Structure 1
Amino acid sequence: MIFMGHSAPAPTSTHRKLVIVVLGLAALITTMLCAFALPSLHSGPHHVPIGVTGTQQAAQDLQRTLDSDTWDVDVYASTSELKAAIEDQDVVGGLALQPGKLDVYTATAGAPSATGAVTALGDTLAADRHVAATVHDLVPFTADDPRGSGLTAALMPMIFGGIFPALILSGVFPGHRGLRTRLAGAVLFSLVAGVAVAAVLQFATHSIGGDYWMNAFGVVLGMTAMSTTLLGLQALLRMGGFAFGGALMMLLGNPLSGLATGPHWLPSGWATLGQLLPPGAAGSLLRTNAFFDGATAGFPALVLTGWIILGVALALIADRRGRRSPQAPSESVVVRQSTPADPQPAPVASGR
């Protein structure tokens, strides 16, 4: 009898794996620190787009005065054009110079932190000109949630709505044979959970407005993007891929989403990266659908669709590779070999 099984890993292989795990965890913690700490340390207005209007000379003088790393200033021909630009999310706020007064226009629901900065800027300019400043919030949060707490809190359910299905479905339907079932389950879960989350935000907490089905579509698209990406990474790279995807969504995508402050409150590079990751794109899509009639929905929807395509593509690659790979051997195989030393069966004598 010869018993063939998996031998214990060589010490060199064990040490190599240990080093890889330790270095990977150290890199993960370092990335998490950078993602949370650096944007916070350098948070503030960074190239915040605002508009100004008034007499041509006054508006152009104000544009030259304010244009800097803090403000990107555009001049508008009239107050109505400035207000339309704010409602279309071309700018986050604006200043209208009028004889004897200064009107400050904001959109709190679009950029909560930048709104405070624009208001403070208007107060400073009004004091310098010895005129009164009047603030007009064109796009506020809802009356039941004036600080937008519900919108900010919605990001975590969307992130976990992408991580949990990928994790649970991988355990219930493991291996190559369960890959397509996992993908179908993730999409189905996103549909059900997205509709439910949007309903709670709109009808239970009254934190968002707008068209309910557009809001639900944004949440569904965000959850689908995260869950399919995680499933694709897990199918192709196993648990290492899942860990990388989870860190990407939670440790990098969450702090860089800008959902609580608006993306313009983060340093430019971090803000751009955050909007290209699923959490940031999902938050921006929900914001614009809920408060701006989908004025800038195209870009975040395109980003989320791209992540869905990436996740499905990774899963298809893993599926094709799984079909080509031979059947894995069992952990222990018993092989019977005949040797010359084996005793031969004795002949059976015939009875008479």
Structure 2
Amino acid sequence: MATVATPDGAPPGDSLRKSGLVVVALTALAVTLLLAFALPAIHSGARGVPIGVVAPAGQAEQVGQQVPGVDVTTYADPRAAREAILDREVYGAVVIEDDGSVETLVASAASPPAAAVVEQIGAGVAATTGAEATVTDLRAFPDDDPRGVGLSAGALPLALGGWIAAVVILLVVHTPVFRVLTALGFAVVGGFAMTATLRFVTGTFDDAYLLTSLGATLGIAATSVAVLGLRSLLGGAGIAIAAVALILLGNPLSGLSSAPEMLPSPWGAIGQLLPPGATGSLLRSLAFFDGAGALQPLVVLSCWLAGGAVLYAIALRRERGDADAAAPEPGDRTAVAGAHG
């Protein structure tokens, strides 16, 4: 009895086995993506959230006991606490006056969930003393986007946009120099366009358009050039590594919807070493805090940009070496004849 082959020439059993493996692999990928995005949100909570306290002697230690998972720094006066908040050293501060009244200082633009933790502590302190509690938001999101949803939602477009851009550039642009120029051109145009969207459409930003656009440009350039380098040097494996770093890990660990200190340790810190988290932190610092806290994300993104450029240069050098090795030597009549044959 003859075996009926499929159009690709493989026996039906082999095709069925391949189909089954594809289904299992795709299901595993879907579940992995679900867990990567869901678990950080489910297990989000205060884990070493830095806060400040201004209180009479003996009361500062009691403040940190109101809510677990915070690191308390004592400041001499409210002015010092305000400066620490605006310098992004702490997410907020609880100020206890000599008469027992409580003022909670926050900067919700740094992280609405972290600000809520500080407000909860302030309310708890006021409840124990029976005093009045007030909340002062030193730097809030604009009224059009009071929770900063636009910034939180921007992590995935930044990561996915840079990844897709690099893949498209490799498929469409074939000249090495123009591939880099295209990636950088997309970074500039895309950075300014995305920042314009966050400012003029969603209302997430209200100031520093030029600085935030330059920050977004750096983030997109770091992402696209890194993918360009990984793909050029490692082929398909490079694309997979980039997808894991940027999408599977980078987006859910960015901390943009909460704060790095509210993600399970050490994932929050790892997320800040990946482009989505670093770009989000950089934009937050530039848009709301006059650049305070921008140094680390600047260094991280510069390293990704430089690393991608180095990988791309190594890949080009290897390709040129292979081409030179394959080229016939001058005077090699056999090679020349073979080439014309």
| Equivalent residue for 1:220, pick from 189, 192, 217 | 217
Deviations 1:302-349 (A, max 9, x none): 1000000110111011001000114779xxxxx8xxxxxxxxxxxxxx
Supply the distance in 1 between the matched residues of 2:60 and 2:50 (Cα, whole angstroms): 15
How many Å apart are 1:273 and its aligned residue?
A: 0.6
How many Å apart are 1:67 and its aligned residue?
A: 8.8
Residue 207 of structure 1 is matched in structure 2 by 204
Pairwise mapping of residues 274-313 of structure 1 onto structure 2 (< 5 A)?
Answer: 274-313=271-310
The runs of at least 4 consecutive aligned structure 1 residues that moved more than 6 Å come to 20-27
The residue type equivalent to 1:46 in the other structure is R
Residue 48 of structure 2 is matched in structure 1 by 47
Pairwise mapping of residues 53-68 of structure 1 onto structure 2 (< 5 A)?
Answer: 53-62=54-63, 65=65
How many Å apart are 1:30 and its aligned residue?
A: 6.5
Supply the distance in 2 between the matched residues of 1:28 and 1:127 (Cα, whole angstroms): 49
- Are the counterparts in 2 of residues 215 and 290 from structure 1 also a CA contact under 8 Å? yes
Residue 125 of structure 1 is matched in structure 2 by 125
Supply the distance in 2 between the matched residues of 1:183 and 1:24 (Cα, whole angstroms): 33
Supply the distance in 1 between the matched residues of 2:23 and 2:307 (Cα, whole angstroms): 29
Cα distance 1:40–1:156, how it changes in 2: closer, same or farther (>3 A)?
A: closer
CA RMSD of aligned residues (A): 2.8
Supply the distance in 1 between the matched residues of 2:157 and 2:250 (Cα, whole angstroms): 13
TM-score computed with the length of structure 2 as normaliser: 0.84
| Equivalent residue for 2:185, pick from 185, 188, 192 | 188
How many Å apart are 1:34 and its aligned residue?
A: 4.5
Supply the distance in 1 between the matched residues of 2:293 and 2:86 (Cα, whole angstroms): 10
Q: Structure 2: which 5+ runs fail to align? A: 1-7, 9-13, 328-337
Secondary structure of the residue that 1:136 maps to in structure 2? strand
Pairwise mapping of residues 1-352 of structure 1 onto structure 2 (< 5 A)?
Answer: 31-62=32-63, 65=65, 70-98=69-97, 99-174=99-174, 178-326=175-323
How many Å apart are 1:31 and its aligned residue?
A: 5.0
Q: Bigger radius of gyration, 1 or 2?
A: 1
- Are the counterparts in 2 of residues 210 and 293 from structure 1 also a CA contact under 8 Å? no
Deviations 1:256-295 (A, max 9, x none): 0011112222112010010000000000000111111110
Aligned length: 314
Deviations 1:58-90 (A, max 9, x none): 224545x4695x010000000110011111110
How many Å apart are 1:209 and its aligned residue?
A: 2.7
Supply the distance in 1 between the matched residues of 2:127 and 2:267 (Cα, whole angstroms): 34
- Are the counterparts in 2 of residues 257 and 283 from structure 1 also a CA contact under 8 Å? yes
Secondary structure of the residue that 2:102 maps to in structure 1? strand
The residue type equivalent to 1:165 in the other structure is A
Secondary structure of the residue that 2:147 maps to in structure 1? coil
The residue type equivalent to 2:51 in the other structure is I
Q: Structure 1: which 5+ runs fail to align? A: 1-7, 9-13, 330-334, 336-352
How many Å apart are 1:45 and its aligned residue?
A: 0.6
Supply the distance in 2 between the matched residues of 1:248 and 1:28 (Cα, whole angstroms): 15
Secondary structure of the residue that 2:58 maps to in structure 1? helix
Deviations 1:185-237 (A, max 9, x none): 10111001101111222233321133111100110000001100110011011
Deviates more, 1:249-258 or 1:161-170: 161-170
